């Protein structure tokens, strides 16, 4: 009995170790996702629009935004763009070289009374205005990978194509760290004649880091093309939206668990099913032995 329990314990521990990293966030939470300017931004221009992106389930009900500095606190009315899930406020004239705290509200989820997570963002202004459009070298390279995502909405592992983008440098007179990165899918099975579809909106990656986006099996199979642009706090965009970068993915069976390399080499997560089967076998043997003893 001790031997059987030990073997099953090892199997169970290994199984939990592999499955644990795959858990997704709570289903339907209308959570804050990104702020422009981001937390910790410096030399923020004195003009422009302050905005925040929420997850797709966010529902705006006239919540206000709080903006404060060491001398005063203001409550600002906001507007909501449901296409980008973006809450925006036109900031009053900011004081040069001053620290600000921007409090984004917790929004309700669509069809629910539950509120998600808001955020408190801290930034420091510079002494100048943003007067030029951003410069952005665009996408340099696109790689793809296969993943399984534990979807809390369906309580099942859902197949995803993960596309990773190597980006060229970006610059703006209002500060590159306050730029937004917009990724568009311009070609694929789900893209119609109407043109590109926005698939990701977030803070521009800093220090040469990559960006990534996950697409469903239907959206990511076959020849897939992307374009990207940078947007500053005044809504001006870079001249890179017409630059397309394409990659051709393989249609996959999606049975490898949480991750499989683009070259087709399964990771350790591929052992989830065998471990589960082994664990069930161990428990069955334990029950049989217990029944014999009784």
Task: Provide the CATH number for the domain around residue 239.
Answer: 2.60.40
Predicted pLDDT at 93: 83
Q: Is 6 exposed, middle or buried (0-12, 13-18, 19+ CB in 10 A)?
A: exposed
Are 121 and 231 in the same domain? Answer: no
Distances (CA, A) of 141 to 2, 154, 226: 54, 33, 10
Residue 62 in domain:
yes
The answer to whether the beta carbons of residues 65 and 87 sit under 8 Å apart is yes
Are 281 and 258 in the same domain? Answer: no
- Is residue 99's pLDDT more than 80? yes
Are 13 and 54 in the same domain? Answer: no
Q: Is 194 helix (H, G, I), strand (E, B) or coil?
A: coil
In this structure, the chain runs to a length of: 294
| Region of poorest pLDDT, from 120-124, 127-131, 250-254 | 250-254
Domain residues for 82?
Answer: 32-125
Task: Read off the pLDDT of residues 131-182 as tens digits, 9 standing for 90 and up.
Answer: 999 999 999 999 999 988 777 677 777 889 999 999 999 999 999 999 999 9
- Grade residue 211 by pLDDT with cuts at 50, 70 and 90: very high
- Grade residue 19 by pLDDT with cuts at 50, 70 and 90: very low
Task: Read off the pLDDT of residues 258-271 as tens digits, 9 standing for 90 and up.
Answer: 333 333 333 334 33
- Is residue 118's pLDDT more than 60? yes
Copy the structure tokens of residue 128. 């100048």
Are 113 and 180 in the same domain? Answer: no
Are 93 and 141 in the same domain? Answer: no
d(CA 230, CA 98): 26
Copy the structure tokens of residue 275. 């471990």
Of 80, 105, 125, the last residue of a domain is 125
Predicted pLDDT at 281: 43
Predicted pLDDT at 158: 84
Residue 130 in domain:
no
Question: What is the domain-level CATH number for residue 73?
Answer: 2.60.40.3780
Provide the domain count of the chain.
Answer: 3
Are 141 and 250 in the same domain? Answer: yes
- Is residue 2's pLDDT more than 60? no
Predicted pLDDT at 187: 81
Are 213 and 282 in the same domain? Answer: no
């Amino acid at each position: 009995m001790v031997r059987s329990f030990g073997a099953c314990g090892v199997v169970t521990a290994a199984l939990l170790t592999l499955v644990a990293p795959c858990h997704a966030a709570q289903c339907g939470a209308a959570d804050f996702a990104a702020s422009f300017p981001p937390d910790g931004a410096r030399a923020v221009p004195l003009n422009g629009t302050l905005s925040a992106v929420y997850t797709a389930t966010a529902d705006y009900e006239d919540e206000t935004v709080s903006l404060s500095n060491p001398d005063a606190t203001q409550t600002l009315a906001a507007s909501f763009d449901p296409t980008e899930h973006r809450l925006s406020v036109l900031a009053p004239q900011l004081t040069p070289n001053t620290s600000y705290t921007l409090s984004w509200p917790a929004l309700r989820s669509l069809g629910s009374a539950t509120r998600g997570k808001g955020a408190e963002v801290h930034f420091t202004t510079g002494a100048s205005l943003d007067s030029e459009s951003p410069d952005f070298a665009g996408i340099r390279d696109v790689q793809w990978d296969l993943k399984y995502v534990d979807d809390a909405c369906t309580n099942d592992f859902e197949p995803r194509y993960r596309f990773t983008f190597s980006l060229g440098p970006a610059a703006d007179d209002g500060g590159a760290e306050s730029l937004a990165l917009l990724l568009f899918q311009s070609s694929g099975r789900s893209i119609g004649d109407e043109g590109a579809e926005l698939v990701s909106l977030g803070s521009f990656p800093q220090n040469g880091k990559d960006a990534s986006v996950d697409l469903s099996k239907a959206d990511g199979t076959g020849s897939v093309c992307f374009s990207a642009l940078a947007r500053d706090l005044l809504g001006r965009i870079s001249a890179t939206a017409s630059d397309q970068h394409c990659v051709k993915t393989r249609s996959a069976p999606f049975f490898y668990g949480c991750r499989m390399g683009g070259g087709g080499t399964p990771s350790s997560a591929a052992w989830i099913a065998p471990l589960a089967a082994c664990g069930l076998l161990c428990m069955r043997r334990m029950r049989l032995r217990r029944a014999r003893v009784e």
